[in-house]
Amino acid sequence: MKEIEITLKVNGEDFRVEVDPRTSLLRLLRERLGLTGTRQGCGRGDCGSCTVLVDDRPVLSCIMFAFQADGKSVTTIEGVAKGDRLSRLQELFVERGAIQCGYCTPAMILVGESLLRRNPSPTREEIRRAISGVLCRCTGYEKIVDAIEEASTEEGRR
Amino acid sequence: MKHEGVTVMAGADFRVVSKRLPKVDGRSIVLGEARYTKDFAGEDALFAKIVRSPHAHARLKKIDRTEALAVPGVELVLTHEDVPRIPFTTAGQNYPEPSPYDTFMLDSKVRFVGDRVAVVVARDRLTAERAARLVRVEYEILPAVYDPEAAMREGAPVIHDEPDATGIHEASRNIAASIYAEVGDVDAELGKADFVFEHTYFSQYEQQVPMEPHVTYAYLDESGRLVIITATQVPFHVRRIVARVNDVPISRVRVIKPRIGGAFGVKQEVILEDLCGHIALRTGKPVLMELSREEEFYGTRPRHPMKLTCRTGVMKDGTITANEMRVIANTGSYGSHGLTVPSNTGSKSLPLYRARAMRYVAEAVYTNLPVAGAFRGYGAPQGYFAMECHMDEVAREMGMDPLEFKRRNLVRAGDVDPIAVKLGEGKEGFEREIRTCGIEECIRLAGGAVGGKEPPGAGSGAGPFTRTRRGVGFALCMHGTGIPGDDMAGATVKVNEDGSFNLLIGATDLGTGSDTILGQMAAEVLGVSLDDVVVYSSDTDFTPFDVGAYASSTTYVSGTAVVRAAEKVREKLRLVAADLAGVAAESLVFEGGKFRTPDGRSLDIRDVALKSFYGESKQQISETASFLNLDCPPPFGACFAEVEVDLDTGMVRVTDIASAVDVGRAINPDLVEGQIVGSVAMGIGYALTEEMLFSAEGRMLNASLLDYKIASSLDLPDIKAFIVETVEPSGPFGVKSVGEVGMDPIAPAIANAVFNATGVRLRELPMTPERVLAALREAGL
Q: Give the pLDDT of residue B453.
A: 59
Does residue A93 sit at the B interface (CB-CB below 8 Å)?
Answer: yes
The model's pLDDT over B356-412, given as tens digits with 9 standing for 90+, comes to 999 999 999 999 999 999 999 999 999 999 999 999 999 999 999 999 999 999 999
Q: Does residue B96 have a cis peptide bond before it, meaning omega lies within 30 degrees of 0?
A: yes
Over residues B718-743, the mean pLDDT reads 97
Q: What is the pLDDT of residues B25-82, one digit of tens each?
A: 999 999 999 999 999 999 999 999 999 999 999 999 999 999 999 999 999 999 999 9
A101 and A37 in a single domain? The answer is no
- pLDDT of B458 higher than 80: no
Number of neighbours of residue B140 by Cβ within 10 angstroms: 12
Question: Residue B346 pLDDT more than 60?
Answer: yes
Domain span including residue A21 = 4-79
Statement to judge: residues A20 and A44 lie in one domain: yes
Q: A75 with A92, same domain?
A: no
Contacts of B710 in chain A (CB under 8 A): 135, 137
Cα gap A158→A147, rounded to integer Å: 17
Please answer whether residues B436 and B633 qualify as being in contact, where contact means their C-beta atoms are separated by less than 8 angstroms: yes
Please check whether residue B664 is in contact with residue B436, taking contact to mean a CB–CB distance below 8 angstroms: yes
Is A142 touching B (CB cutoff 8 A)?
Answer: yes
> What span, in angstroms and rounded, lies between the C-alpha atoms of B206 and B405?
31
Q: What is chain A's alpha carbon radius of gyration, rounded to the nearest angstrom?
A: 16
What does each C-alpha distance from B302 to A93, B147, B162, B675 come to in angstroms? 30, 16, 24, 20
Give phi and psi for A25, each to the nearest 5.
-60, -40
Kindly report the CATH number assigned to the domain that includes residue A75: 3.10.20.30
Residues 1..30 of A with a Cβ closer than 8 Å to B: which?
Answer: none
Co-location of A12 and A31 in the same domain: yes
A14 and A75: one domain?
yes
Q: Using one digit for the tens of pLDDT, what is the confidence trace for B573-598?
A: 999 999 999 999 999 999 989 999 99
Query: In Å, how far are A21, A25, A61, B127 from A65, measured between CA atoms?
Result: 7, 5, 8, 19
- On whether ipTM exceeds 0.95, the answer is yes
Residues A118 and A68 in one domain: no
Asked whether the beta carbons of residue A129 and residue B714 sit closer than 8 angstroms, the reply is: yes
CATH code, A110? 1.10.150.120
Residues in chain B with CB shorter than 8 Å from the CB of A146 are: 1
- Choose from A142, A149, A150 for mutation: most chain B CBs within 10 A: A142
d(CA A79, CA A58) in angstroms, rounded, equals: 14
Whether B344 is in a domain gets the answer no
Nearest to B304 by CA among B325, B327, B331, B328: B331
- CB-nearest to B1 from A44, A103, A142 is A142
Q: What confidence tier does A153 reach under pLDDT thresholds 50, 70, 90?
A: confident
From first CA to last CA, the distance across chain A in angstroms is 52
Minimum CA–CA partner of A124 in chain B: B718
Predicted local confidence at residue B735, as pLDDT? 98
Contact A142 B718 (CB under 8 A): yes
Domain end among B298, B315, B337 = B298
Q: How far apart are CA B36 and CA B33, in angstroms?
A: 9
Does A76 contact chain B (CB < 8 Å)?
Answer: yes
pLDDT band at residue B459 under the 50/70/90 scheme: low
> Which of the four pLDDT bands, split at 50, 70 and 90, describes residue B514?
very high
Within-domain flag for B252: yes
Q: Which residues pair with B536 in a beta bridge?
A: B504
Q: What is the mean pLDDT of chain B?
A: 96
Report the pLDDT value the prediction gives residue B554, as an integer from 0 to 100. Answer: 98
Q: Which whole number is the average pLDDT over A9-32?
A: 97
Residues in contact with B288: Cβ distance below 8 Å, sequence separation at least 6, in sequence order = B38, B41, B45, B46, B47, B48, B215, B216, B217, B276
The number of domains in chain B is: 2
Of A43, A137, A141, the CB nearest to B210: A137
Tell me which chain A residues have a C-beta less than 8 angstroms from the C-beta of B711.
140
Residue B2's pLDDT is what? 40
Across residues B623-647, what is the average pLDDT? Answer: 97
CB of A47 closer than 8 Å to CB of B296: no
Whether the CB of A31 is below 8 Å from some CB of chain B: the reply is yes
Confidence of residue B454 (pLDDT cuts 50, 70, 90): low
End-of-domain residue from the set B275, B298, B321: B298
The three-state secondary structure class of B638 is strand
The answer to whether the Cβ–Cβ distance between A103 and B27 falls below 8 Å is: no
| Statement: residue A133 has pLDDT above 70 | yes
User: Do A72 and A98 fall within a single domain?
Assistant: no
What is residue B164's three-state secondary structure?
coil
Do residues A25 and A71 share a domain?
Answer: yes
Secondary structure E strands in chain A: 4-10, 13-19, 51-54, 57-60, 73-75
CATH code of B509's domain = 3.30.365.10
Question: Is the distance from CB of B314 to CB of B394 less than 8 angstroms?
Answer: yes
DSSP conformation letters of B167-219: S-SBGGGTEEEEEEEEES-HHHHHHHSSEEEEEEEE---B----SS--EEEEE
pLDDT for the residue B12: 65
- Across A94-100, average pLDDT: 97
Regarding whether A49 and A10 lie in a shared domain, the answer is yes
User: Considering CB atoms only, which of A97, A105, A124 is closest to B30?
Assistant: A105
pLDDT, average across residues B541-561: 98
Structural domains of chain A, count: 2
The whole domain housing B549 covers 487-628
Is A135–B710 a contact, with Cβ atoms under 8 angstroms apart? yes
On whether residue B406 sits in a domain, the answer given is no
Q: What is the 3-state secondary structure (H, E, C) of B417-454?
A: CCCCCCCCCCCCCCCCECCCCCHHHHHHHHHHHCCCCC
Q: Of the candidates B572, B594, B628, which is a domain's last residue? A: B628
- Cβ of B293 within 8 Å of Cβ of A47? The answer is yes
Rounded CA-CA distance B748/B687 in Å is 8
Same structural domain for residues A113 and A53?
no
| Mean pLDDT computed over A61-77 | 98
Least confident of B3-17, B42-56, B410-424: B3-17
| A21 and A59 co-located in one domain | yes
Show which of A79, A109, A134 is a domain's final residue: A79
- In this prediction, residue B244 carries a pLDDT of 98
Determine the Cα–Cα distance for residues B714 and B412; give it in Å rounded to an integer.
39
pLDDT digits (tens, 9 = 90+) for B239-294: 999 999 999 999 999 999 999 999 999 999 999 999 999 999 999 999 999 999 99
Which residue type is seen at B48? A
Q: Which residue in B27, B670, B713 is closest to A141 by CB distance? A: B713
Which residue in chain A has the smallest CA separation from B208? A137
Residues in chain B: 781
Same domain, A59 and A101: no
Determine the pLDDT at residue A148. 98
pLDDT in the model for residue B424: 86
Distance of CA B49 to the CA centre of its chain: 27
pLDDT on residue B452? 64
Q: Which long-range contacts (CB under 8 A, 24 or more apart) does B95-99 make?
A: B95/B237, B95/B240, B98/B167, B98/B339, B98/B340, B98/B425, B98/B426, B98/B427, B99/B167, B99/B335, B99/B336, B99/B337, B99/B338, B99/B339, B99/B340
What percentage of chain B carries pLDDT values higher than 90? 95
Which of A79, A99, A130 is at the close of a domain? A79
For residues B672-687, give the mean pLDDT. Answer: 98
**Residues contacting residue B460 through CB under 8 Å, at least 6 positions apart:** B468, B470, B644
- The closest CB to that of B39, out of A36, A101, A142, belongs to A36
